[in-house]
Every structure is written in structure tokens, then in C-alpha cells.
Structure 1
């Protein structure tokens, strides 16, 4: 009997090691190709397939009827994992977000922005957001969906012994609500993506992979020049370290997001880099790394005090 127990333990260990060795699925945030979609939808989706991508984040149909767009997704073997939802919609009518996600057969719904007055982002803003996300997240969870929020930098303003983001994490229920980390938008306001992943394991279910041109000055306003988006592994975010930490922290889905005007050239180069991290030297066709940026030291970030109207 003891022999069989040891055998089962060994087989289980081998199985877990095999899982750990599997390369991660790398998806694409379709916003990266927003300009291409304006003139060519079928061809743009075909290009995504050609790059070897199978998972995407989106939510729009780029002017096509839903049935026609979904047919193109199926033809190109593309699965919509997550879709966006407006904060106001989540606050006033979360059921509409449920229906939109289910129309795409998506599992995750992501809110990308908390409305606020210009550059002023206060404790009251984050407090209300926590309440909205808990309530909407419960509705989504009851419908088999998961709600996440994608920070854009202004959430990392100091508050108490931490930041407003810390308040949001600590005052939301992970059963109903979690996060999508955009590593650029964590680095840009002066935070460390790896430290944040380690601090809050299993709270970041989704991740945007985006690297930043060395020497870029950050801020806590949620603003950046899209041309500071560079090929993954050539910027100052530390993508290799992030990917290692993300695996341990429980990130489930990864999406390259390249908002630059060179995204079509840069995306396959980024895919090649990510594959090399998983030990796969074969990248997408014609993926040769160009425009390598010289690694630079971290730069200062303009920080903003939080107004507490309480």
C-alpha cells in the first residue's frame, strides 16, 4: 500500500512540474490595433491569428454586426476572454455588463477608469468605487462572470500608511472583484509591479503587458505619450521579473497592449521576447527585434497629494 501511495505522489509531482513547464498563453488587447480595424476588420483579425495569438481582450465589433464579428473570431480561432465595461454602467445597470460579456462568451469584465474631476482624485472617489465594484461584482459573480478593475496610476496617490489603491484592495471582496494589472501603468506612477504582485497574490487575475521607453518621466494623472510604448524587454518595466512574479501570484490571462503607432511591427517582436522567457526560441513569422532601447535608470515621478473631503 505504501508503495502505491509513493507512486501516486510521484506521478502527482510529475504532473505539477509538467504544468509549470507549459508556456503561458499570451493574448492581445485589440485596442492595440484600433487604427487597423478602422479600415480592415477581417484582415486585422487574420493578422492576429497569423501571430499565433488565440486569446483577445475587446468588447467592440468595429462596425460589424455581432454575428458577423463573432463568425470572424471563430474563423480565426480567437477567443474573447474579457470585455470592457463603463463605470457608470456598473454603478447603475450591472446586468447590462453581464449581457454584453455573455454576447462575446467572455468570462471577465474589466472597468478601465474611475470618473473624477480632472487631475483631482480623492478618497471619496475611491471609497465610492469600492462600493460600486463590490455590488456590481456580486451581480456578475451570480451570472458566472468575474469583475476586474484596471488601474491607470492616479489610484497610487498616498493615503494613510499606503495608497488609495491599497484602500481599494482592502475594502473589496475577492469573491466578487479583483484586478487587471497593466505593468506600464503601475511603473509610470512610481510603483513596482513585482512588489505589488507579491503584496497582493491572487488579486491580479489579468495582466496587460506593456513596456516603457527608458527615461520617460512618470506621473500620477493617468497620462502618457503612447509612443513611449516599446517592444517588451527593451524598456524599463522589467518584464522578465514581472512574468516570473506573475506566475507565482496567480495571474490567469496575459494580454500584450501596445498603443504606439508601431504596434503592428512591435507586437510580433514582443511575442518573440515572451516566448524566449518560457524557453521557446520560435516566435511569430518575421519577428526580428528592432529599435532596441538602451536600458536606463528609473526616473522621478510627479506625485500628487490626495484631498480627503471627509
Structure 2
């Protein structure tokens, strides 16, 4: 009897230790996306940063300067002991204002620059994907060689349409230079079009540098549009995505920063719930 109980107990302890280690691993890597608090930021940047700090966040991905200069925003961050690790910009600015983007990112203290949408009319096409590859390689090279910044593309769902033997995302990954272009995986926008976020992370390994952590309301059906109602974002761990599997894959792949993103009208309730869930993993 003892021979049967002991292995079971050891397996239980090992499982618990592995689960707890993910929460510990996230301590220095977990942050929040400014877009989560966009409505509040539009009213009062300083007060919103106070709220974010009160929640326990000291890491933020800035995706809008909300009328401030990069230097003004950096001052507000420094006064609160918050660091900007990633700077999100639009595709046109990445391509047409690369130097301005690089300077702003450096001023904010970021080490990453991110783009989250490739402009396209109607369905996403291979021609658009090819142009994005060229633009990402060029801008990524400038940001790396001139400013010491790493560029990441953030998926948004439409890239997972089938193309040849894979998807458009596979095409983008295969044709961008890993020295200049990597990825921020948004796990909702991988799951929504039918991809498995954990499998995607395992496939692309250390090219997955950043993550948007979020969850999709149960019962919601996805598609390739890259769009859904913001209130389909639910507290992490309460939706459809297998968060423990995703986090296990991400830890193994060496994802550097994880940002909670919540596009719903209920961030005041859901963000603390998401944070508490992730800490307990």
C-alpha cells in the first residue's frame, strides 16, 4: 500500500510546485497595457498611473501618450516607480516615423516597440502580408541598429487564415528576420480565429518575446475578422482559454514580459481578478 501512496504523493507535490512556480516566475515580468485603462487615461494620466500602482503594477506597456510628450510621460512614470518596458505604435508611424518612434521609446525607457494591426481593407491577403514583412524587416533593423530596441508584431486574428501549407502568420514568421522582428502573442487573438495559443508558442519558441494576457467569454464563437465586442474579454481564468497550458509554454519559451489587457467596461473588477488568478498559478 505504501508503495502506491508514496508515488502519488510525490506526483502531487511536484504538480503543486510546478504550478506555484509560474506565479513566482511572473512576479518580475507581469504588467498591464495602457489600453486597458484608456478611458481613465484620457481623463487624467497621473491619477490613472496612481490607480495602476495601487493595484501593484510597476510594469506597463504604453500604447498611447494621451496628449503628453514622451518626456512628460516618463516623468510621471518615474515619480511612481513604474517602468515602461514596451511602446506600442501604429503601423503608419512605424513605417513613416521610425526615428520618432525610436526616440520616444528610448525616452520612455522601453526596450520593445510593438505594432498591433496591419492595415487592410476587407480580407487579409498575401500581398498585404508581403508588404508587412518588408516594412517590419526595415523598421525593425533601424530600431535595433540605431536605437537598440526590439520590434515585435502583435497578432490580431486575421493572420491565421490558411495560406499554402500553413497560415499568413506562418508566412510572416518565416519571412521576417529574427534579428529584427519578433512577436507579442495576444492569446485571445490567437484563440479567437481557432489557433491554439500554447501550441503557437511552442512552435515559434523564443521569437515570442511578449504576451497580452486575456481571456474570451465562454460561448463566444470566433472568426478571422480581428474584431469582437470588448465585453467578450473576461477575467483571466474564467473564459475559454487554457491559461495554465499557455503559461507553461510561455515560461519554457522564455517570454520576457506579460501584460494584462482587458478591453471590457469592467476593468475595475476584472483586472484585480485576473491579477489574483495569475499570482496563484
- Smaller-chain TM-score bracket: 0.7 to 0.9
Superposed CA offset, 1:76-115 (max 9, x none): 2110111112222332342222112112121100011111
Q: Is the partner of 2:144 in helix, strand or coil?
A: helix
- Alignment pair present for 1:140 and 2:143: yes
Instruction: Specify the alignment match of 2:220 in structure 1.
Output: 216
Q: 1:31 — aligned with what?
A: 35
Distance 2:50 2:67 in 1: 17
Q: Is the 8 A contact 2:22 2:248 kept in 1?
A: no
3-state SS, counterpart of residue 218 of structure 1: coil
Aligned to 1:305: none
Partner residue of 2:204 out of 200, 217, 238: 200
Structure 1 residue runs without a partner (length 5+): 1-16, 278-310
Choose from 114, 124, 141 the match for 1:110.
114
TM-score scaled by length of structure 2: 0.88
> 1:83 and 1:120 mapped to 2: Cα distance?
28
In structure 2, stretches of 5+ residues that fail to align are 1-17
For 1:48 and 1:153, locate their aligned partners in 2 and report how far apart those are by CA, in whole Å.
28
**What RMSD in Å do the two structures reach over aligned CA positions?**
1.7
How far apart in 2 are the matches of 1:60 and 1:104?
Answer: 12
Q: Give the corresponding residue for 1:225.
A: 229
Query: 1:248 maps to which residue?
Result: 252
Q: Could you say which structure has the larger radius of gyration?
A: 1
- For residue 127 of structure 1, report the CA deviation from its aligned partner: 0.8
TM, length-normalised to structure 1: 0.80
Please say if residues 23 and 275 of structure 1, whose CA atoms lie closer than 8 Å, have aligned partners that are also in contact.
no
CA distance in 2, matches of 1:21, 1:272: 10
How far is the alpha carbon of 1:61 from its aligned partner?
3.0
C-alpha offsets along residues 223-276 of structure 1, whole Å, 9 cap, x if unaligned?
Answer: 101001001000001111111110001210000000100011111111100000
Aligned to 2:104, which of 96, 100, 118? 100
Equivalent runs, 1:254-273 vs 2, <5 Å: 254-273=258-277
Q: Per residue, is there more helix in 1 or in 2? A: 2
d(CA) in 2 for partners of 1:175, 1:20: 28
